Structure 1
């Protein structure tokens, strides 16, 4: 997971892949595709805007406090994992606007910068100055492991700098 994106060997998701009835939003170099209860597909040349609303954002201090509380609760055997937060993805195309729900990939929350950089990258996909191929190419060439928020922000900055 880097920013609002979940990347694996087969695909790039906006949000985390869903095993439930919640939709998946898949990003390919050619199109944006919604899979789920109300499927749809749009070529990038037809997309005029993408908005992501409801991404959980917390400051570094609040994220660390939440992690510490989770560790303490787990140690006391009173921890119950919560469900991922839901985010709304709105795709605008040709005067139409379609909204779908996806799950957040953040364990707890994203940093504000991570969300802002992700939104900037989505805007680049829409205006044609970047492509989701940058994310898949990174996945195949990098050995990402688990990145902390600063590492994820650095990767997002790298993608934004790529032309």
Structure 2
């Protein structure tokens, strides 16, 4: 799934696209959520398995995006999680809040691109850093 200032696009074998004005609701379900302790334990096990040459990288967790159009059509599509192990519940809640602002026209995904261009992060952000970025985007509306 790709978000742009113009709209939302589902990629893959059955690509589809909608302008934001045609989207009534956009939800993501099945996001992998784990506590900090469980995320750290999973990360530690991966590092230990890699050190023993027993680690085989798995596929990213799969989530479901559900788009409801202004005409009442509901489209569901699988999408991959961007989290290495899982998200915090706070990240998921903030992300869903941001998606809601996009669908209501209160904010634009252009904020994400602008942030990336300005910050140019050199490494993957930790969950608390991602939460802070999401809070910043939510405060921009």
State yes or no: 1:68 paired with 2:68.
no
TM-score, normalised via structure 1 length: 0.83
State yes or no: 1:39 paired with 2:39.
no
- Name the structure 2 match of 1:103: 80
**Aligned pair partner of 2:131 in 153, 159, 163:** 153
- Higher mean Cα deviation, 76-85 or 90-99? 76-85
**Aligned pair partner of 1:87 in 38, 63, 67:** 63
- Offset from partner CA, 1:47-105 (integer Å, 9 cap, x none): 01011011111000000011111111111111111111111101000110011111111
- Higher mean Cα deviation, 53-62 or 69-78? 69-78
**Aligned pair partner of 1:118 in 95, 111, 125:** 95
- Higher mean Cα deviation, 72-81 or 87-96? 72-81
Aligned mates of 1:67, 1:135 — CA distance in 2: 27
Q: CA RMSD in A?
A: 0.9
SS in 2 for 1:57: coil
Runs of 4+ in 1 over 4 A off after TM superposition: none
SS in 2 for 1:130: coil
- Offset from partner CA, 1:2-42 (integer Å, 9 cap, x none): xxxxxxxxxxxxxxxxxxxxxxx111111111122221111
TM-score, normalised via structure 2 length: 0.95
Report how many aligned residue pairs link the two structures: 139
Unaligned stretches of 5+ residues in structure 1:
1-24
